[in-house]
Amino acid sequence: MAPDVVWLCMTKDQTSWGQVNNVQRTFDDFINLMRSSGLDPSRISLSILTGSEQEYRHFRAVTKRFHFARFIVLLHPGLYELESTSADSTAEERWKHHRSETAKLRNYLLLRTLRDERHIFWLDPDVYEVTPGIIPRMIAHSESREDAGIITARCSPTGDSEYDRHSWSGTKQDQHYLSETLQGTSDGDLVPLTAVGASVLYMRASLIWQGLTFPAYYTIDSGWDHEGHDGIETDGLCHQSRGLKGGGCFALGGNWYVRHTS
């Protein structure tokens, strides 16, 4: 059976997996999390981009231990360039540089990996807990609703606190984050969003073949001779997907969540 799911992850080095209760997580912890997702590994093409030669060698050495349909490991030293701005740059300039480089790396990993798979998942390396069945639920929604091509879920470090504030509905002047937007919803609901984060992110592969990418610049209100003021990396994904078939952005309603190291 040919794989129909691409699972993507980017790491800088061995610290990227995060810590839980002051204990460093490892790649094995990430694999165990994938195994708990409810997906048959034979359906999955796992692709990891790292900026660490040590991690790259480790991933290559352990590939035969796992039974994924494909296991791709890419070394990209550009991950170390995420913080390479000048010493006198402002916080806003550093933030923009980081998001721009992250967008380029996401596009690089995605386009180097995707073949004929129909479903794409992004998961941050330091996500350490997911609601059982969350990945199959996202796939089921995408297969039953033509407009549901981009789906995310609430992300929190502990309890009901909110970690990923890149996911919101409304307007820039009147943003509503998931902790508010999901109130009163049920597990079977899909809630429309204006923008998404990527702690956990589903994308229908057909959007990529229509030309969707992660924007590496501020897209909102950009012009021929000037850059915009918002909508970089995942922040601009839903803006870019408008007009594409199946380009709607949503969050899982109810109690679905992933948990991120703090």
Q: Report helix, strand or coil for 190.
A: strand
pLDDT at 85: 59
pLDDT band at 79 (very low <50, low <70, confident <90, very high): low
Cα–Cα distance, 147 to 177 (Å, whole number): 21
- Torsion (CA) 148, 240, 236, 233 in degrees, nearest 10: 100
Task: Read off the pLDDT of residues 181-219 as tens digits, 9 standing for 90 and up.
Answer: 999 999 999 999 999 999 999 999 999 999 999 999 988
Q: Residue 81 and residue 77: Cα distance in Å, rounded?
A: 8
- In the chain, which ranges are continuous DSSP H helix? 27-35, 53-62, 91-113, 134-144, 178-181, 205-209, 237-241
8 and 45 Cβ atoms separated by less than 8 Å: no
Q: What is the pTM of this model?
A: 0.94
Torsional sign, CA 5, 12, 201, 155: positive
- Parallel, antiparallel or unpaired: strands 200-204 and 148-152: antiparallel
Span 240-246, average pLDDT: 96
Q: Using alpha carbons, select from 107, 100, 96, 102 the residue that is nearest to residue 213.
A: 107
pLDDT digits (tens, 9 = 90+) for 91-113: 888 889 889 999 999 999 999 99
Has residue 72 got a pLDDT over 80?
yes
The residue ranges of every structural domain in the chain are: 5-260
Phi-psi region of 88 (alpha: psi -120 to 50; beta: other; left: phi over 0): alpha
